[in-house]
Amino acid sequence: MARMSSIRSRSAARLAITYLTAVLLGAFLSLPLLWIVLTSFKPTAQLLTSPPTWIFSPTLEHFDAVFARPEFWRALVNTAIVTVSTTFVTLSVGTMAAYGMARDRAGGAPLLYTTLAIRALPPIVLGLPLFVVFTRTGLIDTLPGLTVAYTAFMLPNTIWLMLGFFQSVPKSLEEAALVDGCTRFGAFLRIALPLARPGLVVTGFYNAVGAWNHFFFGLTLSTADARTLPVYAAQLIGEYSIRWGEVSAIGAILVMPPIVLVILMQRHLAGGLTLGGVKG
Amino acid sequence: MPMEKTRPSGTGLFDRIDRNIGRVMIAPAIIVFLCVSLYPFLFNFWMATHNVSLLNIRAPEWAWTGTRNFLRILRDPSTQGALIRTAIFASATVTLQLTLGMLGALAFNRAFRGKAALMVLALVPMMVTPIVVGISWRMMLNYDWGLANYFLDLVGSGPLQWLSNPRMALISVILVQVWWGMSFAMLVILGGLAAIPRSLYEAAEVDGASDLRMFFHITLPMLRPVLLIVGTIKVIDALREFDLIYSLTGGGPGDATRVFALELYYTAYERGNFGMSAAQALLLMLLVLILTVPLIRLLTSKEPT
Amino acid sequence: MSLKRRTLLGAGTAVALALAAPGLAQAELANVTIWVQSGPEAEALGEVAKAYTDSTGNPVTISPQGRAGWRQRYETALAAGSTEFDGVLHISRFVPALAAGGLIAPYDDYIAGAAEYDADDFPEIIQSEMKYDGTWYMMPTDITLETLVYRTDLIPEAPETWDDLRENALKFTQSHNPDSPTKYGFAYAGSPGNVMAAFLGIMGGHGGDFLDGESCVTTDSPEVTAAWKMFVDMKNEDKVTPPDINAWDYPELLVGLQNGTLAQAQFFTAGMPILNDCAQSPDVCENLALVAQPEGPMGSKTRVNPLGVMMNAQSPNKDALWAFLEFATGKEGALIYSEAGGQSPRSSVLANEEIAAGRPWVPEVLKASKAGMGTLRIAESREVAEAFDRYAQQAIAGQITPEESLIKAAEEMRAILGGC
């Protein structure tokens, strides 16, 4: 009896700590965004008062102003296209490479170090040479060009992430499948990938959000046609004034798709993984 | 140990590819790196070993200077200061992000009511575009009309000079960086936690193990690859952080928050010396490699059972 | 000719024309692209471009670019030999470095060949700001000044001297005078890169400068030291400025003026329209005025900050760009530009009464164009400015004394210029 109640109180304690942590973190992490969303509904005159205005009559004027401009819609479409293509390319190329590196040590230490070294260069450094290369190949201000740049930027991280996830997945299942006559690639597709699904989800989410919000290469390598939303938002920062209302509105709009993605992602990150074949 | 190639050997092309599947699978990534990253790296190296500034960048030839740029930056007080600041910034942000990320991941690794909503909230920072993050925090940390000092006032504490006191500014920058980056750490660790079989914990509980013991003997070891990966990524991110700090403080006040990536920018675009900036970039790469070699060794040595 | 032959001939001619068309089109209608920072200048230039295209049929594309990393972006493009744009509009401060590096092209030959352009319609100081080494490298589109903006409901008469300004500041800072409606009596943009602009007025008023002529460093001279000490003391000793002023950029200044936190501030004329617009600044639109810099012992010196268009040295459309600029910065175009929201520095435009009506800065601009201070005209201007800015920031943050900061800055400047 004593043992049952100690287990029960343990559960209760765990639940309490869980809630406390989750709520505190949730509040701290989301407060600034809530402030942005609040600001996007404030009338211009009350945007930045001292002390801050909490009670105001909400207005849609900033959103109207944002939606009224065709450049906004263009930037939205551009960003969507680049995000989808980048995520797709980066995830496929990166996952395959990570698998090769995890299972076969393909490329060995040199490849690992190379991905690190590339990862280590701040984008600022790449700005000038990439501009030169892209100018000569005609990729400046094009969506495929941006996809290429984003992919190169995010590939090392993707490889590293999936590497970690693949290494956490035991080889035994794949080896068993090979003995049963499966091809190496088949083992990858049918066993390793599904087992590493949480990792795929996380990495895919990271890539998608990273591409959606990416700023630097979008800024440097596009001039007009291929402009993305974050760069468009930055344009609202004038020399003397920042159009706070509109920037906040765009910030609020920009956050929507990632939030949708998170909700979709929830299902795949449930605690505990059970796949019949893994015996305790 | 590479995986056993236990498949019976065939001689067709498809079979040959499949036997060497590891090498085939890394090929696309290598192509991307060669095409897009190699040239900038070589270009950078070329600039670092020549005398290149805004005044002569379009001249037909640049004067060779060999290692002079490297020696110059090592002696340069501006670079030295940036290195120290970056070290402080990196160690503080990585430690905090990993710790808080772990706490958050542990909390979210179980089902509870409201979890979905709270999780969305916790992941928010990752989802806001850096420009908006920088500007919003800049306004929130403003001395006179910022939200931060407003709350401090509510709890009776005096206002802080978040972004204008040199020491405080570095703390603020660390704070915003942790705010921004811990969601990712939490997410990745959560992914790693999700891959740990539940059965391990159930068995341990039956044996009477405490939560703490389970954490140190089951969770941490199983998470090791993931933690190493996240740690490495975060260290590298910290060493090259630019966007956020630039929009928050511009490197100021003075040079109090001028971390290495900003120092690179200043050397190239304010002091107009591209050669020196390129040398600083190579120094950064060297530092990253030195710092992460031990991590790589650990990763490639053995795998958890 | 048989039908078949005629058809062939017709088809052949059509093909030949089609192939030649781009070449022909290029000769007449080269599309000129100009990069401009998004804002009033881009809009005004857009109006001028429209008028130009309507009358000549030549297309002009004005491409607004955001402020984020603006200078770094067009410099990168110029350094990479890009032809993404033919012209770029920015302030005159960066002309010397870009010209010395061969990244922008000179205009002298074009101006000489334009009989009716009347370059002398621009005040002397504007002309010198547009030049490097005696050659024109920028065509002027705007003039803005670093002026003093103040609350007329609190300060009925504009401060005449720097001592007046200081007295006002003390009176309207809440920490000194609890009844003051404004929290701080004085402010400026103190963030990295901006201090110099705010300091130039008081420095000139004390008769100081960073260089004498163009060679010897005088940053640590007694005049500059006196001015700098007064300037820095206003924050650290008098405490009449916001304590975090070294994190303030122009947007913060604007907000500070709009929400009544500030009584006086160093601000650019180009930002005035926003302050005077009651839709955007309802609390203060009626109560803000601007005036040229107060006087120091050696008079009043206001920093002049013109904007203009530089020509990309790699541009294949230089003639077409000049054709547009000749119109846009010529007498007719300058008027259209100014009516659309810009402020051309042409004397003829400044004297235009219709333009001057509703623009309180015009008299100040006229004053300043006779006694203004320009920017450094040497190729190393940016390095020198960066050296000053770094130590200036430390002085403002209170880490070193004003005197010390000037000595260190001067030492570094001498090292950069390799001279006295």
Q: A245 near A62, Cβ under 8 Å? A: yes
Summarize pLDDT for C75-101 with one digit per residue, the tens.
Answer: 989 988 888 899 999 999 999 999 999
B58 close to C (CB below 8 A): yes
> For chain A, what is the mean pLDDT?
81
Q: C151 near C261, Cβ under 8 Å? A: no
What percent of chain B has pLDDT above 70? 94
Residue C20: pLDDT over 50: no
C232 falls in which pLDDT band (50, 70, 90)? very high
Residue C22: pLDDT over 80: no
Supply A197's token pair.
Answer: 């699904």
List all residues of chain B from 175 to 204 with a beta carbon under 8 Å from chain C: none
Phi-psi region of C311 (alpha: psi -120 to 50; beta: other; left: phi over 0): beta
Count A/B contacts: CB-CB distance under 8 Å: 365
Select the residue of A33, A101, A170 nearest B128 (Cβ to Cβ): A33
pLDDT mean over B192-221 = 82
> For chain C, what is the mean pLDDT?
87
pLDDT in the model for residue B133: 83
| Helix, strand counts (H, E) of chain C | 18, 13
Question: Strand ranges (DSSP E) for C129-223?
Answer: 131-132, 135-136, 138-151, 211-212, 216-217
C192 close to B (CB below 8 A): yes
Winning range, highest mean pLDDT, from A127-136, C258-267, C372-381: C258-267
Chain B touching partners, 3 or more CB pairs below 8 A: A, C
Beta pairing, strands C60-65 & C32-37: parallel
pLDDT mean over A173-187 = 84
Cα Rg of chain C (Å, integer): 25
A276 falls in which pLDDT band (50, 70, 90)? very low
Is there a contact between C268 and A45 if contact means CB atoms under 8 Å apart? no
Mutate to test the interface with A, among B6, B14, B18, B21 (most CBs of A within 10 A): B21
A75 falls in which pLDDT band (50, 70, 90)? very high
Residues in chain B closer than 8 A to A148 (CB atoms): 35-36
Q: C384 near C378, Cβ under 8 Å? A: yes
Torsion angle in degrees (nearest 10) through CA of A255, A260, A265, A270: 100
A274 falls in which pLDDT band (50, 70, 90)? very low
Residues in chain A closer than 8 A to B111 (CB atoms): 270-271
pLDDT mean over B283-288 = 86
Q: CA angle, A86 as apex, A80 and A88 as ends, to 5°?
A: 105
Residue C28: pLDDT over 70: no
C24 falls in which pLDDT band (50, 70, 90)? very low
Runs of H (alpha helix) within C57-210: 70-79, 95-100, 108-113, 124-130, 162-171, 195-205
Number of residues in chain B = 305
| Helix, strand counts (H, E) of chain A | 13, 0
Supply C204's token pair.
Answer: 């000139």
Q: How many angstroms separate the CA atoms of A116 and B291, rounded?
A: 11
Summarize pLDDT for A126-161 with one digit per residue, the tens.
Answer: 788 888 888 888 888 899 999 999 998 889 889 988
Measure Cα distances from C209 to B65, C127, C203, C373 in Å.
Answer: 35, 20, 7, 9
Distance from CA of C383 to the nearest CA of B (A): 5
pLDDT in the model for residue C29: 61
Question: Between these two residues, B111 and A229, which has the higher pLDDT value?
Answer: A229
pLDDT in the model for residue C12: 52
Residue C169: pLDDT over 90: yes
A271 falls in which pLDDT band (50, 70, 90)? very low
Interface of A with C (CB under 8 A): 44-45, 48-50, 127-128, 131-132, 135, 140-141, 215, 219-220, 223-224, 231-232, 234-242
Q: How many angstroms separate the CA atoms of C149 and C201, rounded?
A: 13
Select the residue of A131, A237, A241 nearest C77 (Cβ to Cβ): A131
Element housing C264 (H / E): strand C264-268
C152 falls in which pLDDT band (50, 70, 90)? very high
Residue C25: pLDDT over 60: no
B169 close to C (CB below 8 A): yes
pLDDT in the model for residue A51: 67
- Full 3-state SS string of chain B: CCCCCCCCCCCCHHHHHHHCHHHHHHHHHHHHHHHHHHHHHHHHHHHHCEECECCCCCCCCCEECCCHHHHHHHHCHHHHHHHHHHHHHHHHHHHHHHHHHHHHHHHHCCCCCCHHHHHHHHHHHHHCCHHHHHHHHHHHCCCCCCHHHHHHHHCCCCCCCCCCCHHHHHHHHHHHHHHHHHHHHHHHHHHHHHCCCHHHHHHHHHCCCCHHHHHHHHHHHHHHHHHHHHHHHHHHHHHCCCHHHHHHCCCCCCCCCCCHHHHHHHHHHCCCEHHHHHHHHHHHHHHHHHHHHHHHHHHHHCCCC
Is there a contact between C79 and B266 if contact means CB atoms under 8 Å apart? no
Mutate to test the interface with C, among B39, B43, B51, B54 (most CBs of C within 10 A): B54
Q: C389 near C193, Cβ under 8 Å? A: yes
What percent of chain C has pLDDT above 90? 47
Select the residue of B252, B265, B272 nearest C97 (Cβ to Cβ): B272
Tell me the three state secondary structure of residue C278: coil
Q: Position B151: which residue type?
A: F
Q: How many angstroms separate the CA atoms of C409 and C385, rounded?
A: 9
Summarize pLDDT for B246-260 with one digit per residue, the tens.
Answer: 878 878 787 889 999
